[in-house]
Amino acid sequence: MEINSNIISPLVVGGLNSPLGARDLTHLLQLEGEERKTMLRKAAEVKASEVGNVVYLRGLIEFSNCCVKNCMYCGIRLDNKTVQRYTVSNEDILAAAKYAYDKNFGSIVLQSGEIESPAFTEKVEYLLQEIKALSNGELGVTLSCGEQSEDTYRRWFLAGGHRYLLRIETSNPELYSKIHPNDALHSFTKRVDCLKLLKKIGYQVGTGVMVGLPFQTFEDLANDLLFMKELDIDMCGMGPFIEHVDTPLYQLKDQLWPLQKRFEVTQNMVALLRIMMPDINIAATTALQAIDKLGREKVIRTGANILMPNITPGVYRNSYKLYDNKPCTDESADDCTSCIDVRVHLTDNEVGYGKWGDSKRFGKRG
Euclidean distance between CA atoms 303 and 258, whole angstroms: 23
CA proximity to 232, closest of 199, 272, 267: 199
Element (H, E) at 236: strand 235-237
Euclidean distance between CA atoms 344 and 350, whole angstroms: 6
CATH of the domain at 121: 3.20.20.70
* pTM of the shown model: 0.92
Predicted pLDDT at 16: 47
Instruction: Dump pLDDT digits (tens) for 43-80.
Output: 999 999 999 999 999 999 999 999 999 999 999 999 99
Euclidean distance between CA atoms 227 and 145, whole angstroms: 21
- Tell me if 219 sits within 8 A of 178, measured CB to CB: no
Q: Tell me the residue type at 268.
A: N
In a domain, 28, yes or no: no
In a domain, 9, yes or no: no
Instruction: Dump pLDDT digits (tens) for 221-232.
Output: 999 999 999 999
Predicted pLDDT at 335: 59
**Spans of the chain below 70 pLDDT:** 1-18, 316-338, 366
| Residue 272 φ/ψ, nearest 5 degrees | -70, -40
In a domain, 145, yes or no: yes
- Tell me if 238 sits within 8 A of 270, measured CB to CB: yes
In a domain, 240, yes or no: yes
In a domain, 279, yes or no: yes
In a domain, 129, yes or no: yes
CA angle 111, 44, 171 (to 5 degrees): 45
Q: Which domain holds residue 154?
A: 54-365
For the chain, the domain total comes to 1
If one counts every other C-beta atom within 10 angstroms of the C-beta of residue 164, the result is 28
Secondary structure of residue 240 in the 3-state scheme: strand
